[in-house]
Amino acid sequence: MVKTRNLSSGREVSGGFAAVRAWSRRHAFSLLSSLGTIARHPLASLMTFGVLAFALALPLALHVALTNVERLGQHWERLDTLSVFLHTDVGEEDVDRISSRLSTWTQILAVDPISPQQGMSELSQQLGLLDAENLLTENPLPWVLEITPAVGFQRDTLLARLEAEAAVSTVIVDLQWLERLDAMTEVLSRLVSLLAVLLALGVAVIIGNTIRLDIQNRSEEIEVMALVGATPAFIRRPFLYMGLWYGLIGGVLAWLLVAAALLALDEPFRALSRTYAESAGLLHPGQDILALVVGGSGLFGLIGSWLVVGQHLRRIDP
């Protein structure tokens, strides 16, 4: 960016170090003057910040909600058990052997064997049949292993491993609603990405429009600056800084909005998770996400003002 300006006047500071110093002073001037413009119009600036904060808070809040639902889903998955039906010819000693072997698998938290007798009595209770076991000369039920998976288990690989066991006849999983939940969170996370893209463009447009109005209000100032020898880059710079500030501050405000919402929801959420014998609070957005929101919004603010400033300065043609 630093150009050595070889001027016949000889007054312009030349030489690398001095040029960098002058360059940084000009930047400091632009930076301060952009902040000054924001501070001089507090109401207008606040409204712009507000619009940006709400626009950015929406995808951020959805993202946070989604990560929390996904985590809850993991808890729900673990509360469900898999019913592993063994072949009818598998006897009690084999069952003990198999269940102690299965319980060593990392994906499995607990194995609870249910004998055919237990199964029959549970079944007859459920069906309202008294002494169903006495009506049947032979118990047709096999041994069943009730398996509680460990947190974060891979459903498909666990199923495949279980079904590969010689003694296993069938594995019954009633997790279809969980699959639906997974599919739903997938749809929602796609929606969050789409919203993020749309609102990032929205940020660029909002900031671009704000800067456009500001340029119109300050066209006289721009002309005077050009008149006393300001380069187009110097004239452009305060507006670019302003776009950056709008974006950054809007991003930070969006984060504060979401943080406040999380704070308000934390206690009810803890009450909810206590019913699952958990006491985890809400997950807050990660630092990478916050950096993405704030940095991305700053970047799009910069892009928005860049587009507008370039176009308008060409029109004013100082």
Partner 1 sequence: MISFEHVAKRYPGGVQALSDVTFRVNGGEMVFITGHSGAGKSTLLKLIALLERPSRGQVLFDGRNVGKLARRQIPYLRRRIGVIFQDHRLLSDKRVFDNVALPLMIAGLPFAEIQRRVRAALDKVGLLDKEKLYPPMLSGGEQQRVGIARAIIGRPPVVLADEPTGNLDPGLSAEIMNYFLRLNETGVTVLIASHDLELIRSLRRRVLVLAHGQIIDDRPARARRDSAAGQGPLEPDQGALW
Among 231, 263, 268, 316, binds partner 1 (CB under 8 A): 231
x/- string (CB under 8 A) for partner 1, residues 177-216? ----------------------------------------
**Position 313 contacts partner 1 (CB under 8 A):** no
- 135 to each of 114, 118, 127, 138, how far by Cα in Å? 21, 16, 14, 9
Q: Which is nearer to partner 1, 21 or 101 (CB)?
A: 21
x/- string (CB under 8 A) for partner 1, residues 39-78? -x--------------------------------------
**Position 270 contacts partner 1 (CB under 8 A):** no
- Tokens, residue 190: 């796609």
**Position 226 contacts partner 1 (CB under 8 A):** yes
Positions in 234-253 near partner 1 (CB under 8 A): 234
List, edge to edge, every strand of the sheet that includes 168-172. 108-114, 144-149, 82-86, 168-172
How buried is 128 (Cβ within 10 angstroms: 0-12 exposed, 13-18 middle, 19+ buried)? exposed
Among 2, 14, 25, 79, binds partner 1 (CB under 8 A): 25
How buried is 4 (Cβ within 10 angstroms: 0-12 exposed, 13-18 middle, 19+ buried)? exposed
How buried is 242 (Cβ within 10 angstroms: 0-12 exposed, 13-18 middle, 19+ buried)? buried
Torsions phi, psi of 28, nearest 5? Answer: -60, -40
CA atoms within 13 A on the CB side of 193: 5
**Position 31 contacts partner 1 (CB under 8 A):** no
**Position 225 contacts partner 1 (CB under 8 A):** yes
Q: Which parts of this chain interact with partner 1 (CB under 8 A)?
A: 5, 7-13, 21-23, 25-26, 29, 40, 220-221, 223-232, 234
